Chains A and B, each alone.
Chain A
Amino acid sequence: MTEETMLGQAAIETEDHGDTVRDKRAWRKLMDSLLKDKSAFFGVVILFFVVVTAILAPVLAPFSPHEQLLSRNLRPPMWSDGQSIFILGTDHLGRDFLSRLIYGTRISLIVGFFAVFLTGSFGLLVGLISGYFGGKVDFFLMRLVDLVLSFPFILLALATIAIVGPSLTVLILVMSMRIWVIYARVVRGEVLSLREQEFVQAARSIGGSHIRIIFYHILPNVLPPVIIIASLYLGRMIIIEAGLSFLGLGVPPPTPTWGGLLSDGKVHLYTAWWVVTFPGVAITLTVLGANLVGDWLRNVLDPRLKSM
């Protein structure tokens, strides 16, 4: 018996509770595949730890991330000189490096998640409208997409931040300028084929409004690719945030960010290896976790999107 017919029967057997049973089954299928896929499981574990670290930063950090003491600057990590009380050493202003790293998790995740959410919702909306209405609306929106795609993103982002001034909000908005296009294109493509399907035609023939058809009938069917792109781009967003902070165009100091830590540390490359090593490890692990989860979601939800 195939999965679909099993689901179908389960739905029939329980009549009124069909939907919940179906949800439970889908959920269990997802969990089973997670337990089978070792790398996806690893990714989920990493992301879980990173999120917990961000939330519990004040509890986990052994020292204040801002407290400076120049007399103890650039102390090496605990294990390399054996007497330091700072697990990962200190930075050039004598601040505890581990605490700054822990607090840095917050900005990375906030920017990453917000940017992904913003781009996802905006791109989804544009894709839905463009694909559903077609014609002039579609032509105009797709030229807008072409325009955005034809800009060298980093240069434009730099120029915008330089003019408007760096802050958390500006950072999230600027990073979202480009990525929504990817959602818009994929969603539009899906909607183009969906709107010709029988269930949409049926909804239209019984007089369903555009809004109802778009949000009630089409939207649920385009959510899987949106979720997949979102999870695949979370890691990219975290890297871009770190890059902009590294260039001094991210969230302004003294707020600790991973990119900012690298930028501060770069000058001390020759004397203090830890200040340039650990932030990079933190970024890499987080992005790896996000990417592994993204790959897994894609494989489970929609293997057609392999080239993403």
Chain B
Amino acid sequence: MGSYAVKRLIQAIFLLKLVMVVVFLLLHMTGDPVTVMLETDATLEDIAEMKKLMGFDQPLWVQYWRFFKNALQGNFGDSIEHGEPAMGLVLERLPATIEMALGAFMFAVVIGIPFGCLAAFKEGSLYDRGCVGITVLIQAIPDFWLAIMLIMFFSVFLGMLPSFGRGGWQHFIMPAFAASTYHLARLARLMRSQMLEVMRQDYIVTARAKGLDEKIILMVHALKNSAIPIVTVLGLDLGILLGGTVIIEVVFAWPGVGRLVIQAISSRDFPVVQSAVFLMASGFVLINLTVDLVYAYLDPRISYK
């Protein structure tokens, strides 16, 4: 376990370095970063001045080294739009994004797992078939369209919930639910198929044969053994939610990182875009690392490979 953890940690650090290279190259993709950052009607003097200001007139590896040194200190330059440090702006918006991601995650876990378990437990019943049908349908619905439909129903028709912004639980419930649906449905389906798989194993048959209560079999024997693949998916889901609720944030005007990025993109504020991509990618790498370590803890066979 110890050596495995060290190995994974080294891998994660290596990945973070690569992430930095990609974030650095992002601006150099079209060849000339200045034309990307400036408006199309910029004069030649503007371009020359910008080049000098940002150090784009120096060799690429010098630029990268400076970028790397600054990035290690969390410095990705100042926002062109606001004049403040770009990373600061992103960090300011981070709590809102985390709040929504955790909310969506919670919805997915609290609804998805019990529904999936129950469906497996009552395999073939009307409830089971209903569950499967609903999850298949939910997976086909684009979350941002569901968000619009929720607004139309709860805000426009019923006038019950606010349609945009961040505040109390009333503001939070629709965006979090909309962001969770895809993950919720996938989790329920996965939970169901995992449980069905486990329920066919010999040790469950043995437990039944020795007359154990069905509830104990389900809770103690089946649930624990179907946990491993679920943990992986949960980790992945959390990572995706943290980095991918952009559209939901836009629909609900939720003041998170995703919406900031969209605004930064439209105002060509690339230091902000770089900071956000870097921060989210690092978070993603760390979550994956944690998931792998938890996984190795749950299933000791993994670290021996």
On A, residues with C-beta under 8 Å from B are: 39, 143, 146-147, 149-156, 158-160, 162-164, 235, 239, 242-243, 246-247, 262, 266, 269-270, 273, 276-277, 279-280, 283-285, 287-288, 291-292, 295, 306-307
Contact = CB atoms under 8 A, between A and B. Distances in A.
A291 B262 contact: no
Contact of A246 (B22, B247, B276): B247
Contacts of A156: 22, 277
Contact of A284 (B18, B141, B240, B273): B141
The B interface is mostly helix, strand or loop, or mixed, namely: helix
B195 to A, nearest CB: 12
B47 interface: no
B35 to A, nearest CB: 10
Nearest to A279: B145
A50 to B, nearest CB: 13
Given A150-B285, A154-B243, A158-B261, A163 B27 contact: yes
Given A242-B142, A247-B246, A155 B152 contact: no
B246 to A, nearest CB: 5
A269 B36 contact: no
Given A150-B285, A239-B142, A280-B148, A307 B193 contact: yes
Contacts of B246: 154-155, 158, 247
A276 B152 contact: yes
Contacts of A151: 19, 22, 277, 281, 284
A143 to B, nearest CB: 8
A307 B142 contact: no
A93 B58 CA distance: 49
Interface string B268-286: 1010010011001100110
A262 B145 contact: yes
Contacts of B36: 163
Interface size class of B (residues with CB under 8 A): 35 or more
A150 B281 contact: yes
Contacts of B251: 266
A72 to B, nearest CB: 23
Nearest to B29: A163
Interface in B173-195: 190, 193
Contacts of A239: 142
Contacts of B149: 276-277, 280
Given A155-B244, A291-B139, 18 more contacts: A143-B18, A147-B19, A155-B258, A158-B261, A159-B26, A159-B265, A159-B273, A162-B268, A243-B144, A246-B247, A247-B247, A262-B144, A262-B148, A269-B148, A277-B152, A288-B140, A306-B193, A307-B229
B242 A152 contact: yes
A146 B148 contact: no
A280 B145 contact: yes
A152 B281 contact: yes
Contacts of B30: 163-164
Contact of A150 (B136, B151, B288): B288
A243 B247 contact: yes
Contact of B15 (A146, A164, A276): A146
Contacts of B19: 147, 150-151
Interface of B: 11, 14-15, 18-19, 22, 26-27, 29-30, 36, 136-137, 139-142, 144-146, 148-149, 151-152, 156, 190, 193, 229, 239-240, 242-244, 246-247, 250-251, 258, 261-262, 265, 268, 270, 273, 276-277, 280-281, 284-285, 288
Contacts of A153: 243-244
Contacts of A306: 193
A235 B140 contact: yes
A78 B156 CA distance: 23
Contacts of A280: 141-142, 145-146, 148-149
Contacts of B285: 150
A243 B265 CA distance: 16
**Interface of A: prevailing SS:** helix
5 contacts: A156-B277, A159-B265, A247-B250, A266-B148, A292-B136
B277 A159 contact: yes
A158 B15 contact: no
Q: Which of A151, A242, A269, A306 has the most CB of B within 10 A?
A: A151
Contacts of B244: 152-155
B145 A283 contact: yes
Contact of A270 (B15, B139, B156, B242): B156
A280 B190 CA distance: 26
A104 B145 CA distance: 16
B262 A152 contact: no
B182 to A, nearest CB: 9
A216 to B, nearest CB: 31
Given A152-B284, A155-B280, A162-B265, A284 B15 contact: no
Given A162-B273, A239-B142, A283-B142, A155 B136 contact: no
B249 to A, nearest CB: 11
A163 B258 contact: no
Contacts of B250: 247
Contacts of A277: 149, 152
Among B18, B193, B250, B265, residue most surrounded by chain A Cβ atoms (within 10 Å): B265
A269 B152 contact: yes
Contacts of A287: 139-142
Nearest to B289: A150
Contacts of A155: 243-244, 246, 258, 261, 276-277, 280
Given A150-B15, A152-B280, A247-B262, A273 B152 contact: yes
A89 B14 CA distance: 55
